[in-house]
Amino acid sequence: MPAHPTPATPSPSTHSSSTAPELPELDVARDLLALLADTTTEPRPDTQLEALTLAVAADLPVLLWGEPGIGKTAALTQLAEALELPLTTVIASVHEPSDFSGLPVVGDDPAGQGVPLAPPDWAVRLVRAGRGLLFLDELSTAPPAVQAALLRLVLERRIGALRLPPGVRIVAAANPRSSAADGWELSPPLANRFVHLQWVHDHEVVVRGLGGTWPRATLPRLDPRRLPDAVDFARRAVCGLLTARPELVHRLPSGEGRRGGPWPSPRSWESTLRLVAFATAADVSRDVLSLLVRGTVGDGPGLELLASVDRMDLPDPETLLADPAAADLPRRGDLRQAVLDGVVDAVRRRPGRDRWDAAWALLVRAAETGAPDLVVVPATTLASLRREDWDVPPSIERLTGVVALSRRADRADRTAAGAGARR
């Protein structure tokens, strides 16, 4: 008799994954992973995180530059959770240009109705949600054609026939070309649409975060009472600088690498004006404002704007000359020096005995309330403005020691420098 074949025993691979029992070891592993992911946040000063949240509040596209593994993606994930915004991550380098400009869809009557451009599914989800954080990752590895397609998304917030709602914010991340996988330089038109922030790690933040506590990302608190004044201040700051320095209105960098970063243009100055207004209304630190303006128009123009902003609130020299005893001088040395120089210049332009005496009284007050060496140059210049019929005020005697000591110290420095050079 022929032998009956033995029924084959089903192998483990023939069972569906849904019916296979999960190993107890994986249950324990999942518990351990959950404990590792259980972290908390705390209010902690963080200049770059504060700059990021202010730019997000101002509804400006932000580009985070940093080496791989520095924590850019983690920062965006934590930011979305803190702001309770759904996070949509799009890896720019793995998409085609049509994924951002829209895919053509042929209808029943293309000759009469045209060919509409259909948006991708992630854009549809953002529009349905009405709010969210769109994270464009690996931007520096996107080829030029994809970067060109991103221009309309970043500036006009349009993808195909859809327009992203106002509740959606755009943040991108990129690695420097030297450390990016098949990296490209960012095109100047795309770079000029972003606020560029250099993302670096803080040793204390990393150590404390790995211990389970990360800084908390919060939107800046805008004072409703300061909004009109903040707008006026921002307009005066930007327009005042560009009036004095018209060549800064538009200056495309000559080097290809620098064109992929921040540079001044009417578009980026408009963004800068918005950032100054938001920073003023939120009363953020000067360090935060510095990161933002230099990340929008570049280091040189940004530093010039900061210097101009510092001088906007300096007291009027004529007010100081009218009542030197009540003068409230800036504490920062460079600003105090600028005020004293302005006072001496006001006396030079409109000389008078009473004004000359008032300037000396002001220099004495400056020497008594701050660094005495700051009055040396203004005092020397003011002394040269004396007319023959002007008596020397008694207050000068109180500055004689300061000026003499400063000059001796300066001569000592020069002597030491000369001896070092001869060696």
Angle made by CA atoms 211, 214, 216, in degrees to the nearest 5: 160
Q: Give the pair of three-digit tokens for residue 379.
A: 């005092």
Mean pLDDT rounded to a whole number for the chain: 84
User: What is the pLDDT, as a whole number, of residue 2?
Assistant: 46
Q: What is the pTM of this model?
A: 0.75
Q: What average pLDDT does range 68-88 have in this prediction? A: 86
Strand pairing report for 131-137 and 103-104: unpaired
pLDDT over threshold 50, residue 300? yes
pLDDT, one tens digit per residue, over 244-296 is: 899 999 999 987 778 899 999 999 999 999 999 999 999 999 999 999 999 99
pLDDT, one tens digit per residue, over 50-66 is: 999 999 999 999 999 98
Could you tell me which of 228, 218, 173, 162 has the C-alpha nearest to residue 195?
A: 173
Please give the sequence-ordered ranges of beta strands (E in DSSP) within 138-297, or none if there are none.
Answer: 158-159, 162-163, 167-174, 195-198, 213-215
Beta-carbon contacts of residue 317 (< 8 Å; ≥ 6 apart): 339, 342, 343, 345, 346
User: What is the pLDDT, as a whole number, of residue 81?
Assistant: 86
pLDDT-derived band of residue 380, with 50, 70 and 90 as boundaries? confident
pLDDT, one tens digit per residue, over 307-320 is: 889 888 788 889 99
User: What is the pLDDT, as a whole number, of residue 134?
Assistant: 95
Q: Are 46 and 202 in contact (CB under 8 A)?
A: yes
> Please, where are the H alpha helices in 284-351?
286-297, 299-312, 317-322, 333-349
Q: What average pLDDT does range 167-179 have in this prediction? A: 86
pLDDT-derived band of residue 16, with 50, 70 and 90 as boundaries? very low
pLDDT, one tens digit per residue, over 123-163 is: 999 999 999 999 999 888 888 899 998 998 998 898 888 89
| Cα(244)–Cα(199) distance, integer angstroms | 33
